[in-house]
Every structure is written in C-alpha cells, then in structure tokens.
Structure 1
Amino acid sequence: MTSPAASALILFDGVCNLCNGFVQFVIQHDPTGRFRFAALQSAAGQAVLATHGADAAAIAAEPESVLLELDGKLYSHSDAVLRIAQELGGPWRLLLLGRLLPRAWRDAAYRFVARHRYRWFGRQESCWLPTPELKARFC
C-alpha cells in the first residue's frame, strides 16, 4: 500500500449512476480520506487527462467509468478498479485475485459493463454534487 500521506485521485463519469455509486462506496470504505475525486467532465478531470497526454475529447465523448491517478501514474479499466481495492485495504484486497486473470479478459469484462452502464443503472442530467462535508475531497 502507498503511504497514507500520498493521495489518490479517482476520475469518474459524473453523470453515471453506477460510477456515482462506486464513488459513494469508496467514500464509505476510505476512513482516512486518502482518495479524492473528480468527474471526467469537470475542468479538473480534463486537466488531469491532459497532464497524462490522454485524448480528453475522446474520453469525454465515451468516458471510462473509472480512472485512477496514483503516484504520478494513470490507471484505467480493470487495473484502476483493482488498484483502488488494493489501496482500500482490508477485505477489499481479496479482489486482487482478479489479477490472476489475463488483463485482456478483465478489461473485456470491464468494457462490457462500461458499455451498458447507462442502460442498466441509468444516468443523471448533471454531475452529482457532494455534501458540504465531502466537498473538500472533490476537485
């Protein structure tokens, strides 16, 4: 696990109900407040993508469900989710058994869910707004 002082930034699709639920899950299981959050559609999210040389326009048009910026590196697809589980620690580390599967299989499953997430979980008209208590954790 990375040092507790280091922060990790989760980039998520701000209008996706599944993604917003995932953010709520991380908040509930991150008592130290290590993770920060930014919607991919936000200026902060777009700036992070640009910093990493990601094609911000392409990602905004078909956003990934979750990206993770940690220790200067940008993780995507199943690697992002597994790394978040690792950083949460505790029983969530058991999800790291998923690394036993080839990345191509993990990412194919990830893309399948990402492609159908709006149909299965719905979407919002605008990005979710955090409560005043959580606002400091959002960019």
Structure 2
Amino acid sequence: MRENWEDKHIVFFDGDCGVCNFWVQWVLERDHHDRFMFASLQSEFGQKFLSERGLETQVFNTLYLWKPGQYYYIKSRAVLQIANILGGIYKLSAAGKILPAFLSDKAYDLVSRNRMKISNQKCFLPDQHQKKKFIEV
C-alpha cells in the first residue's frame, strides 16, 4: 500500500538483515507522530533511490534516511538524525554529532560488518497499521 511518502522521512534498510529489521521495529514503535516510512534497499523503490544518486545497488550494508526533495543522510548520521526527528529523550543523541562522521561511521561499519553474526532476529511481520508505513514499489 502506498501512502503519501513525499512529506515523510524515508528509511532505507537491508530487508534481509535482522539488525536492520530490529532497528525498523524500534523506530516504528517510537514514531508517534507518523514521520517515517520504510523501504528495503532491495525493493524497486530502494533500487531507484540508490541508482538515481549513483550509490551502490548490490551491497546493502548502509542505512539511508531521505527527506524527498531535501536531503539524505547515510550510516551514523542517518541514525542520529532519525533519533533527533523522533524527539523527546532521543534528541539527546544529537550530542553524537560532535564526533566527526568518519569516527562515528567507523563504529557504524563495525556493527554493519558483524550484523549477520549479531542478529538472531526472527522474521518481522508488521501489523496492519505498520504495513501502511512500508513502500513496496
């Protein structure tokens, strides 16, 4: 199902990764103001996003946050921006922005390289409300 995603923040994630699916669930549970939608990098929509920007279309180890028509963030900056948009206590993560991106991305890359070992996550099945937040095309 397709909602009006143009005014949302789109989170692109590896649909085959348990850590990524855990992260998506975590954001879904905290997105009380309905600011986010989600698309896997493997989806047609995800592949179009990547190819239009000249980004890697076959390796799915990077999280992207995109505000259509405005900007996109990658890796640790995407994570920090998502927390900032969620607001409340999660805004405190903005302190992480004092680190240069190359340092915070090193930590991100460490988790990314080991994510398949870390995860024992079962397949995530969104409920009816959550299904509306996924872009499939």
Alignment of structure 1 residues 102-113 onto 2, 5 Å: 102-113=100-111
The CA deviation at 1:97 is: 0.7
TM-superposed deviation, 1:136 = 1.4
Q: CA RMSD in A?
A: 1.9
% same residue? 37
Aligned partner of 2:3 in structure 1 is none
Query: Which stretches in structure 2 are left out of the alignment for 5+ residues?
Result: 1-5
Q: Post-superposition shift, 1:47?
A: 1.2
Instruction: State the secondary structure of the residue aligned to 1:133.
Output: helix
Q: Which TM-score applies when normalising by structure 2?
A: 0.85
1:88 aligned to 86, 89, 98, which one? 86
Determine the C-alpha separation between the residues in 1 that align with 2:133 and 2:42: 17
- SS of the residue corresponding to residue 34 of structure 2 reads coil
Distance in structure 2 (CA, Å) of the matches to 1:137 and 1:13: 16
Corresponding residue of 1:31: 32
The aligned amino acid for 1:81 is V
Check if 1:19 corresponds to 2:15: no
| Number of residues of Structure 1 aligned to a counterpart in Structure 2 | 129
Residue 134 of structure 1 pairs with residue 106 of structure 2: no
* 1:6 pairs with 2:7: yes
Cα-to-partner distance string for 1:63-108 (whole Å, 9 max, x where unaligned): 1242111243221111110111111111101111111112111010
Whether the 8 Å CA contact 1:82–1:98 is kept in 2: the answer is: yes
Shift, 1:112, TM fit: 0.6
Corresponding position of 1:45: 46
* Structure 1, unpaired ranges of 5+: none
2:15 and 2:56 map into 1 onto residues whose CA distance is 18
Shift of 1:19: 0.7
Code of the aligned partner of 2:15: G
TM-score using structure 1 length: 0.83
Say if 1:129 and 1:40 are closer, same or farther in 2 by CA, change over 3 A: farther
